[in-house]
Structure formats: C-alpha cells, structure tokens
Amino acid sequence: MAEPVVRIPDAKVALSTASVYPESTATAFEIAARLGYDGVEVMVWTDPVSQDMEALRRLSDYHQIPILAVHAPCLLITQRVWSTDPWVKLQRAQAAAEKLGASTVVVHPPFRWQRQYARDFVEGIWRMANETDVRFAVENMYPWRYRDREMLAYAPDWDVTKEDYRHFTIDLSHSATARVDAMEMVDRMGDRLGHVHLADGRGSAKDEHLVPGRGNQPCAELLERLALSGFDGHVVIEVNTRRAMSSAEREADLAEALAYTRLHLASAVKAQRLP
C-alpha cells in the first residue's frame, strides 16, 4: 500500500491588518512576522500608516514580510479616506498594489446610496481590471438586519455572484451573516475565486469575524477544497480580536487562526509507488 504524503498548495496565508484592531497597522506587520505568516493584507482605513505607501514599504522591508493584497477603503468609516470619490479610491488602491508588489485589490460592492457609482460599478471594475495585472477581487457582503427587518445596503447586490466579475473574494464571516450556504457560493464563483477572507460566524445579524473553527461556517471544508483544486490566490485571516483582554491574548488568537489554516490547507493525497 502506498503511504499518504502531505501536499502543501501554493496559496499563501496572510494576516489582514484589520485583525489587530484597535492596535495599529505597524503592529500587524510585527505580529505577522513573529508568528510566521506569509504576508499581510493592508486594510486602508483611518490609521495614517495604512494610507502611506512609503511607510508601508518601510514596514514590509523592516519585518521582511511582503504585502500580498490591498483592501480598498470601502467601509463607512473610510468614506473620506483617499478621497470621497469611490473611483479615485480604487485608482489609488491599484497604484498602491502595483507599487508595493501586491497581487490583489479587495473591493466591496457599492452602497445603494452611491447611485452613479453603483450604476457603473460592474463595467468600471472590468475596465480597471483590463488595465493592470492586479486582480480586483469583489467581496461578497450581506443584508443589514435590525430585529425582524432587513435592508439591502449594497448595489448591484450583496451577493456578488449575481454579477459578472473577473475575480471574487469569498468572506465566510459575511456568508454567515447573510445566512447563505458558503460552499454553494464558492461553487458559483468557480475558477473566478481569486481571494479568501477566512473567518467564522454563527449567523448573527452582526458581522462577527470569529477565529476559524469557532463558528458554524465550512472553514475546514473550504481550505481542503482549495488545496485539492490547486488554488493559487491568497488566504487572508481577517478576524475580530477587539475583545482580547491583552496583546498576548490577541496574538494567541492569531496564532490559532494560522495553525488552523495551515493544518487544513495540508491535504493528504495518495503517493504513487515507483516501480
């Protein structure tokens, strides 16, 4: 009988700088390097360092850890970061990714009240994607809920698989909040799945971003499928550590998330016995 061997896929495991909040972007680089992550995804937000390409380059060089992705400033709290014009934000995110050597820009679908942006979004993302080697990976979102009410906050839709994008980001915390079958969504994304935000959730109305394995999402199943399919994108740990009682507890959560991800990305395959 042939013995099983462990095959590690090409996918790199990165730490989102959002995972250390309320600590700083600089702290995320330090933790990612110390724990052995393959790189970082920079969440561009209100921290001035996250908006400064030279500061980010210095952090990357100092800690010897690459920037693999840039998350464009799409959140409510970042409406004035890098401009109030959403297309300028994406242009600057693309320029940042190119300058820093990142392969992916993560972008959310527009808010419904951004009417002109939403109307032109699908075509505009294609136009930008055709102008660069950087992937624009559009991320699945979720309906906003309050008690028994549901509000559709994103346009054209929070379910990005309803539109024609070149690349997608799957976020398992968002699929939990949306209360959809994440693996069915991954099936619809097919080979256009270019980026993963790995986190867990329990289906709360709030976007939880739990450490993988602490909710009910198919985190392990997704990682194992990525390994077997030869996924060549990045798997980014994007978890909420705001409730950590200390820096040591936050770091322990991020170490656990990394160990979980690496464990399930390593898939057992049957070795062919040489004649």
Q: Is 114 part of a structural domain of the chain?
A: yes
Q: What is the pLDDT of residue 80?
A: 86
Whether 36 is in a domain gets the answer yes
Is residue 111 situated within a structural domain? yes
| Backbone phi and psi for residue 107, each to the nearest 5 degrees, phi listed first | -140, 140
Provide the CATH number for the domain around residue 134: 3.20.20.150
> Please, are residues 41 and 17 in contact by the beta-carbon 8 Å criterion?
yes
**274 in a structural domain:** no
Q: Where are the beta strands (DSSP E) in the chain?
A: 4-7, 12-16, 39-43, 67-71, 104-107, 135-139, 144-146, 149-151, 167-171, 193-198, 234-237, 267-270
Please report whether residue 269 resides in a domain.
no
Residues of the chain with pLDDT under 50: 1-2, 268-275
Total domain count, the chain: 1
- Can you give the pLDDT at residue 9? 64
From the list 162, 93, 80, the residue with the least C-alpha distance to 128 is 93
Q: Would 31 be classed as within a structural domain?
A: yes
**Tens of pLDDT along 102-156?**
999 999 999 999 999 999 999 999 999 999 999 999 999 999 987 778 888 999 9
Domain boundaries, position 43: 8-264
Residue 41 lies in a domain: yes
Contact yes or no for 177/206 (Cβ under 8 A): yes
Structure confidence at residue 210 (pLDDT): 97
Task: State phi, psi for 170 to the nearest 5 degrees.
Answer: -100, 130
